[in-house]
């Protein structure tokens, strides 16, 4: 898995609306919280997505944006986003292009590890956390990123 100080790999993949998203184009707008999750509609992933949704105003106020990545297709992401009122981009990665580039492929290539990265506009990973079963660690990680952005002005 990539870690603090590594350069974040670029990728271009479809979002929940089928539009191509270039990751490095998103970085031009400021820091990105990039999170990888195993699957839409599963209990842990739903809890995580809703937790991020509930912090979204704080994340945006800190000058950051959120992008979620998992292997489901754009239609699944659109249904997941609509059902839970998610105000952030979900990227479809069925071939695990981004998953593999960030080193979060599951054991023996099965599944996806639950990982969150904070990536600066310069494309360098500022911090990262992996916690497959402890969704709360990801929420804590994002809260610390929000606090740090507030102290540094992003």
pLDDT digits (tens, 9 = 90+) for 78-99: 999 999 999 999 999 999 999 9
Domain assignment present for 6: no
- Which residues does residue 118 pair with via DSSP β-bridges, in sequence order? 33, 127
65-70 and 89-92 strand pairing: parallel
101 burial type by CB count under 10 A (0-12 exposed, 13-18 middle, 19+ buried): middle
The CATH number that applies at residue 106 is: 3.40.30.10
Identify whether 4 is part of a domain.
no
Q: How confident is the model at residue 125 (pLDDT cuts 50, 70, 90)?
A: very high
Q: Give me the helices (H) in the chain, please.
A: 23-27, 43-61, 74-84, 97-101, 135-152
> What separation, in Å, do the N-terminal and C-terminal C-alpha atoms of the chain show?
25
Mean pLDDT of 23-50: 95
The SS3 assignment for 89 reads strand
Identify whether 28 is part of a domain. yes
Note whether residue 1 is domain-resident.
no
From 45, 64, 130, 146, the catalytic residue: 45
Give the tens place of pLDDT for each residue, 5-36: 999 999 999 999 999 999 999 999 999 999 99
Please check whether residue 18 is in contact with residue 95, taking contact to mean a CB–CB distance below 8 angstroms.
no
Mean pLDDT of the chain: 94
pTM of the model: 0.94
Average pLDDT over residues 47-61: 97
Residues facing 7 on adjacent strands: 124
Q: What percentage of the chain carries pLDDT values higher than 70?
A: 97
| 45 belongs to the catalytic site | yes
Range of the domain at 68: 12-152
Is residue 126 included in any domain, yes or no? yes
- Helix, strand, coil shares, percent, the chain, to 5: 40, 25, 35
**Domain tally for the chain?**
1
């Amino acid at each position: 898995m990539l870690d603090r100080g590594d350069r974040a790999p670029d990728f271009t993949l479809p979002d929940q609306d089928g539009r191509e998203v270039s990751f490095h184009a998103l970085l031009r707008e400021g820091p990105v919280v990039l999170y990888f999750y195993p699957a839409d509609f599963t209990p842990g992933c739903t809890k995580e997505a809703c937790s991020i949704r509930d912090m979204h105003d704080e994340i945006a106020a800190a000058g950051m944006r959120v992008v979620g990545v998992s292997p489901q297709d754009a239609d699944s992401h659109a249904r997941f986003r609509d059902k839970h009122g998610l105000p952030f981009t979900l990227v479809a990665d069925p071939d695990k292009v981004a998953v593999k580039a960030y080193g979060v492929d599951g054991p023996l290539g099965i599944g996806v590890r639950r990982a969150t990265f904070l990536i600066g506009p310069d494309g360098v990973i500022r911090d990262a956390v992996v916690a497959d079963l402890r969704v709360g660690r990801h929420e804590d990680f994002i809260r610390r990123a929000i606090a740090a952005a507030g102290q540094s002005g992003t």
